[in-house]
Amino acid sequence: MITLLISIVSLIALVLQVLHLINWIKRKKNNNKGKLLASNFQSIIRIIGVLLMIFIIFLYSTFKYLNA
């Protein structure tokens, strides 16, 4: 029951992070093109964070169902 709650909360957090990333990319496209390197670095970190979260959820669910 607790693991189900944790997985639901992490999936909600993942969806919110992806929506925030999409919104941030749209806002960045509407702004001027000559931005600093820091904003590009921040977007790369966000994308890596989203992919890492997907990978962790995938590994967790795989090991959970293999051990069950």
Residue 2 is assigned to a structural domain of this protein: no
Residue 17 is assigned to a structural domain of this protein: no
pLDDT, one tens digit per residue, over 16-54 is 877 887 777 777 777 655 555 556 677 777 778 778 877
Residue 65 is assigned to a structural domain of this protein: yes
Residue 33 is assigned to a structural domain of this protein: no
The tokens for 35 are 């931005």
Distance CA 7, CA 61 (A): 9
Residue 19 is assigned to a structural domain of this protein: no
Range of the domain at 55: 42-68
**pLDDT (mean) for 7-19:** 78
- Are 57 and 10 contacting, i.e. CB atoms less than 8 angstroms apart? yes
- Are 46 and 17 contacting, i.e. CB atoms less than 8 angstroms apart? yes
**pLDDT (mean) for 49-61:** 79
Distance CA 23, CA 44 (A): 15
When divided into structural domains, the chain yields a total of 1
Residue 67 is assigned to a structural domain of this protein: yes
Residue 14 is assigned to a structural domain of this protein: no
* Total Cβ atoms within 10 A of residue 7: 14
